[in-house]
Amino acid sequence: MQFRGDGLVLRAFTPADAPNIAAACRDADIARFIPLIPSPYTEEDARQYVDMVSSWDAGERRAFAIADDESGELLGSIDVRLGEIGSIGYWVAPAARGQGVATRALRLVSRWAVREQGVERLELTTHPENIASQRVAEKAGFQREGVLRAHTRFSDGRRDSVMFSLLPGDLS
């Protein structure tokens, strides 16, 4: 399964993506804001990630490579857990930030999850200091709900998270 729209293609990861995943995930902000990501991030870590997401049950969770629709360049990753209450997360490579990549990908996947997969509530959490990710959530139609204390385990201990949600009535 893949999606095309707004200059992006969201597709399955392949082993050929491993070098680009590793390069992107060596970024300090990705390591800072994504829980329990290996640091330093190696190509072996990326190959293991590709293997892991390839084995997910498509009815429960999907991971998509975010790529430029023209060049095919890997720009990031977005994954969604499906169900009555779903959750979504993403990262964008440093060179692709500030271009609306995350917002466009988030709109595509969240609308598919709600409209076609029956998700009744889609949750998204961010690190409290990740202002860029919070802006992405808001631009994609998610509503900020509040701060969840000691919500997420990171390598240095538990951290707070800012909770956002998207309900079917929030879609325009």
Count how many Cα atoms sit within 13 Å of the Cα of residue 108 in the half-sphere of its side chain: 26
pLDDT tens, 77-110? Answer: 999 999 999 999 999 999 999 999 999 999 999 9
pLDDT tens, 51-77? Answer: 999 888 777 999 999 999 999 999 999
Distance CA 165, CA 172 (A): 15
Of the chain, the percentage scoring pLDDT greater than 90 comes to 81
pLDDT at 155 over 80: no
Query: What tokens does 16 get?
Result: 């050929």
**Torsion sign across C-alpha atoms 100, 105, 108, 113:** negative
Distance CA 159, CA 101 (A): 26
The residue written with tokens 């995943």 in the block is: 21
DSSP 60: T
pLDDT at 156 over 90: no
Query: What tokens does 116 get?
Result: 């076609």
Query: What tokens does 138 get?
Result: 């808001």
pLDDT at 31 over 90: no
C-alpha dihedral (44, 46, 51, 57), degrees to nearest 10: 150
Q: Could you tell me the fold of the domain covering 3-170?
A: Aminopeptidase (3.40.630)
Span between the terminal Cα atoms of the chain, in Å: 24
Distance CA 34, CA 29 (A): 8
Do 37 and 30 form a contact (C-beta atoms < 8 A)?
yes
Do 11 and 66 form a contact (C-beta atoms < 8 A)?
no
